[in-house]
């Protein structure tokens, strides 16, 4: 297996300390805090370890504090309910003695029922589209270091946007984005593992959809972005080592908060998951930021 993907699976597996207490490490992907998708995937993994014979169908999470990349995260699972068809788990992620994240996840015994779904958007397929890492060398020189690392570091997923992103001269666009995603290597047919990985990758690109109408790019020091909450529904079984279309839109931004929604489809148009996220999107004046950090410029 590709070493980067293998490392991510190890990251999401967790160490079991007690029956309902787990410990996880973090990876630095270039963000100033622990990547939100990592905590989502790890918390779901912790909950899954306490459930048998049932599959996750939804999770709802809040990000409370910045995660420290250099410290382990402790996950405490509350076995809230085990009913005839559904089980519910509450998970709290703790660092330095304080909660940084909490999650509620619901699991269901597989059943057959009514079926309908939304149609997949009519967009080009992944073949022939360029991955985000395929950026011309002359363009990389114009991109801030933080953004350059995000674009060039080896990642466990491929990202092929239907519309290429302009990182140097962003234009104002409708708040809609379509990205094909796929794990970089084949995976075991373990639905719980695929759910963990989808939870991880669902935090990529979603919030930034709210910046499209404003022509803003994260990584230039003019905008602060951070996830506030995240919800994810698993509708049908899927495999993240096969192409999934992540179709996103942002119907609203207000009060320094951006609101985004997403749907994930297989190549043949099956809707497998839906996401919703609200996050902090705050414009920063570089001059004021410098004044706050430089004592010579403070009164």
Is residue 203 annotated as a catalytic residue, yes or no? yes
**Catalytic residue (choose from 42, 195, 227, 247):** 227
In sequence order, the β-bridge partners of residue 55 are: 108
| H or E segment to which residue 82 belongs | strand 73-82
DSSP assigned state of 225 = E
- Evaluate whether 105 touches 59 at the Cβ level (below 8 Å): yes
Between CA 94 and CA 96 the distance in angstroms is 7
Give the alpha-carbon dihedral of 262, 35, 65, 51, to 10 degrees: 70
Asked whether 77 and 89 are in contact (CB, 8 A), the reply is yes
Cβ contact 158:201 at 8 Å: no
Active-site residue, 227 included: yes
Please classify residue 204 by burial: count the beta carbons closer than 10 Å to its beta carbon, then call 0-12 exposed, 13-18 middle and 19+ buried: buried
CA 201, 202, 203, 209 torsion-angle sign: positive
Of the candidates 31, 45, 260, 277, the residue annotated as catalytic is: 277
Residue 271 structure tokens: 């809707």
Angle, to 10 degrees, between the axis of helix 3-13 and the axis of helix 191-201? Answer: 100
Whole-angstrom CA distances from 241 to 97, 173, 189, 204, 293 are 37, 30, 10, 16, 44
Catalytic residue among 31, 45, 87, 203: 203
Q: In sequence order, which ranges of 130-183 are alpha helices (DSSP H)?
A: 137-140, 145-152
How far, CA to CA in Å, does 276 sit from each of 51, 97, 158? 25, 29, 22
Active site residues: 203, 227, 277
């Amino acid at each position: 297996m590709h070493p980067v993907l293998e490392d991510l699976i190890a990251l999401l597996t967790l160490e079991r300390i007690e029956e309902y207490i787990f410990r996880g490490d973090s990876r630095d992907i270039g963000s100033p805090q622990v990547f939100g998708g990592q905590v989502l995937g790890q918390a779901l993994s912790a909950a899954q370890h306490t459930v048998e014979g049932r599959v996750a169908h939804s999770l709802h999470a809040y990000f409370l504090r910045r995660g420290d990349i250099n410290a382990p995260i402790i996950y405490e699972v509350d076995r809230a309910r085990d009913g005839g068809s559904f089980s519910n788990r509450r998970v709290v992620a703790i660092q330095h003695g304080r909660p940084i994240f909490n999650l509620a996840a619901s699991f269901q015994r597989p059943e057959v029922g009514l079926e309908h779904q939304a149609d997949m958007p009519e967009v080009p397929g992944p073949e022939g589209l360029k991955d985000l890492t395929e950026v011309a060398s002359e363009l990389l020189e114009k991109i801030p270091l933080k953004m350059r690392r995000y674009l060039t570091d080896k990642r466990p997923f491929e990202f092929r946007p239907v519309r290429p992103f302009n990182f140097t001269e962003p234009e104002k666009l409708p708040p809609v984005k379509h990205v094909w995603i796929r794990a970089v290597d084949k995976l075991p047919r373990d639905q719980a593992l695929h759910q963990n990985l989808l939870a991880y990758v669902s935090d990529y690109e979603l919030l930034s959809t709210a910046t499209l109408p404003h022509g803003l790019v994260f990584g230039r020091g003019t905008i602060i972005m951070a996830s506030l909450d995240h919800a994810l529904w698993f509708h049908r079984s899927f495999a993240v080592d096969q192409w999934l279309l992540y179709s996103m839109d942002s119907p609203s931004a207000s009060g320094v908060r951006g609101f985004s929604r997403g749907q994930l489809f297989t190549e043949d148009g099956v809707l497998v998951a839906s996401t919703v996220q609200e996050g902090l999107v705050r414009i920063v004046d570089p001059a004021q930021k410098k004044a706050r950090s430089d004592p010579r410029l403070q009164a």
